[in-house]
Amino acid sequence: MALIQMSFKSKALLMQTSVNIILPMGTNRIDFEGTNDFTYEHKKFPVLYLLHGATDDHSCWLRLSSIERYAEDKGIAVVMPNADMSAYSDMVHGHKYWTYISEELPQFLQAAFPISDKREDTFVAGLSMGGYGAFKLALRHPDRFAAAASLSGALDLVGSLRKGESSLFDNVFGDPEKVDNSQNDILFLTKQLAESNGVKPQLFQACGTEDFLYEDNVKYKNYANELGVDLTYEEGPGGHEWSYWDTNIQRVLDWLPIESNKVVSVE
């Protein structure tokens, strides 16, 4: 695997930002024909956008899990952007992280790196705030994402805001009542998806039974099941902690609809 640690000036954010990228290498054929003569096949890789949680940043998946090793076994590229405390949203008082993550970053990376732009090769996952962001991306753009996974996700954000449990996001949303039935409300977006006639992403949800977000995750699971949404749900012992997420990101990679060591030919 190749690890690319990159900083660049985002037009959406109007500032420098950082992103970590893991690119497979072993899945490409490398022919050695004499001294200093290497040939690489021109291929594009399926990609997983992997989102961090609140209080974390783009480095945490690399530092606190073995995602690089797991991704290598699957032949998949992994993109880990920084989104600060934005809830992957265009903030009322702050930066336009939704525009950056959903629009600018994929376009930039697809132009700069061998990453597929096909829906069937594009996935998103995240933990906690990142689980919320992952589902929001897939539910708002089902035409772009084939699958999304939430680990310990903050999936009932409206309920948390109403109970005053998510004051960290005051600068993101402003009036919490404006989140209800909006494009930032995961329950509302799920209902929209269920009622649509278009393509629908596969959804994976997992949460530890000792996690403080467990009840919110059960609520979402029951709601999605009532709507008939294609949702794979798993739970088991575990809290809001990296030992749980490191284990379950492996489950996510096994669940994703990709072939092992798949590469996508450039047309």
The CATH number for 35's domain is: 3.40.50.1820
Summarize pLDDT for 111-142 with one digit per residue, the tens: 999 999 999 999 999 999 999 999 999 999 99
Count structural domains, the chain.
1
Maximum alpha-carbon separation in the chain = 68
Write down the pLDDT at residue 29.
47
Summarize pLDDT for 199-252 with one digit per residue, the tens: 999 999 999 999 999 999 999 999 999 999 999 999 999 999 999 999 999 999
Locate all alpha helices (DSSP H) within 28-144, ordered by sequence. Answer: 60-64, 67-74, 97-99, 105-112, 129-140
Give 204's strand partners: 149, 232
Summarize pLDDT for 6-19 with one digit per residue, the tens: 999 999 999 999 99
More confident residue, 205 or 168: 205
Domain membership of residue 29 as a residue range: 2-265
